[in-house]
Amino acid sequence: MVRVLLTNDDGPPNPRESPYIFSFARALEKELGWDVKVVLPASQKSWIGKAYVIKDVIKGKYYYPREPGTSVRSSDATFRLTVITDGMGEHSDASRPLKDGEVAEWILLEATPATCANIALHNLYPGEIDLVISGPNFGRNSSACFMLSSGTIGATLSSSLSHIRSIALSYATFHHPTPAEYTPPANTLSCRIINSLYSNWGADGHGLRNGEVDLYSVNLPMIQALLADGGVEAVWTTAWRNGYGRLFTPSAKKPTVKAAGPDAPPSSASSSGTSTPSGNQPSYALPKHHTDPETAAHPLTFHFAPDMEPLVRPDVTLLPEGTDTWALHHGFASVTPLRAAFAEPGAESLALAGEAEGKPGAKVRL
């Protein structure tokens, strides 16, 4: 049985910010029969990359998700009956037996995704994990811009540096809201892709782990084709090399930042609206500790408001064939092998302009 650590950057189950984590965890258990340990950030951590906040003291709680549709009666005087959706559940400071309707004990840490992965591997479950999966992310993590910003991929970079096979998984939004019926076939396809990768892990002569690929980034388009016979096909891809401009804008008043996850719906999107995948487009209310009303009007106050139009709605005819973004816009799932390292140019870069091609170890002319 494969022993899996599952983490993400969207946090615990939440219909708005983290809609996929619970159903995917259950799919890994039911469809593949794998042993799944879940350690998540306690709150939304999109766009944080592979960060460790080294002065933080990391605290955690246990979390007990329930199957959607189960009901819980409150313990207060109202005795209200609440129907649970999306695997939401109770928090506890101490580990305890499962209650009726609870399906697992998860751990939530007040930490970044990369920190969650490292603590899980070396403190919570040392020597007990064969594969780390981060996701499914709420939105795409295709292209260099989103990859380098992604907390989802950041977690797998962290775990691959600990010599553990790692896969980042992202669900690219094309419809706002994404129809709920797309999620089960997306989970099934993800399980098939991940099982195939784990069983036939690829080679990389420069890999950290015995000449293996360090990690994979998998992106699925959440589209109607998932429901069709044959479903969505997966293709090998490279990362689309792109760039971005302004990410922040001055705050004239207390800001509200939309959307945490990639592809979160724009405020103007109707419930039946559709769009091309909207990239890592934030959509959540900015936490209170990030917005001080007394300083919000200060001229040096800014909030996250990225100008993502060129990234989320690229000219499809200009996308290089075989890249991850090209694949998504042509209805394919993309599978991109990655190294846990900054990409390095070839030998021609080991020289100053006008010099002959250099080699590692050669002196730099000053």
What is the CATH classification number for the domain harbouring 72?
3.40.1210.10
Is residue 183 a part of any domain in this protein?
yes
pLDDT in tens, 99-115: 999 999 999 999 999 99
pLDDT in tens, 128-143: 999 999 999 999 999 9
The residue range of the domain holding 54 is 3-240+321-338
Q: State whether the Cα torsion 260-265-271-274 is positive or negative.
A: negative
Q: Which two three-digit tokens encode residue 346?
A: 């070839």
Higher pLDDT, 311 or 146: 146
Q: Which two three-digit tokens encode residue 184?
A: 């089960």
DSSP secondary structure letter of residue 229: T
pLDDT in tens, 58-87: 999 999 999 887 665 555 555 555 555 678
Is residue 315 a part of any domain in this protein?
no
Is residue 245 a part of any domain in this protein?
no
Q: How far is CA 312 from CA 113, 171, 338, in A?
A: 24, 14, 22
Q: How many domains does the chain have?
A: 1
Beta-carbon contacts of residue 325 (< 8 Å; ≥ 6 apart): 140, 142, 143, 240, 242, 314, 319
Is residue 272 a part of any domain in this protein?
no
Q: In whole angstroms, what is the distance from residue 365 CA to residue 291 CA?
A: 49
Q: Taking the CA of residue 166 as centre, how many other CA atoms within 13 Å lie in the half-sphere pointing to its CB? A: 30
Percent of the chain with pLDDT over 70: 83
In total, the chain counts a number of residues equal to: 366
Q: In whole angstroms, what is the distance from residue 62 CA to residue 109 CA?
A: 9
pLDDT at 345: 84
Q: In whole angstroms, what is the distance from residue 207 CA to residue 216 CA?
A: 12
Relative orientation angle of helices 21-31 and 183-199, to the nearest 10 degrees: 50
pLDDT in tens, 260-311: 555 655 544 434 444 444 334 333 343 444 445 554 457 899 999 998 778 8
pLDDT at 57: 97
Mean pLDDT in residue range 46-55: 96
Rg (CA), the chain: 21
pLDDT at 283: 38
- Which residue matches tokens 């794998």? 34
Is residue 307 a part of any domain in this protein?
no
- Which residue matches tokens 């309707």? 101
Whether 224 shows a pLDDT value over 90: the answer reads yes
Whether 323 shows a pLDDT value over 90: the answer reads yes
Q: Taking the CA of residue 212 as centre, how many other CA atoms within 13 Å lie in the half-sphere pointing to its CB? A: 16
Residue type at 75? S
Percent of the chain with pLDDT over 90: 70
pLDDT at 357: 83
Residue type at 220? L
pLDDT in tens, 150-168: 999 999 999 999 999 999 9
DSSP secondary structure letter of residue 175: B
Is residue 53 a part of any domain in this protein?
yes
Q: Which two three-digit tokens encode residue 149?
A: 């910003």
- pTM across the whole model: 0.86
Q: Report the chain's mean pLDDT, rounded to a whole number.
A: 87
Is residue 45 a part of any domain in this protein?
yes
- CB neighbours of residue 79 within 10 Å: 8
Is residue 182 a part of any domain in this protein?
yes
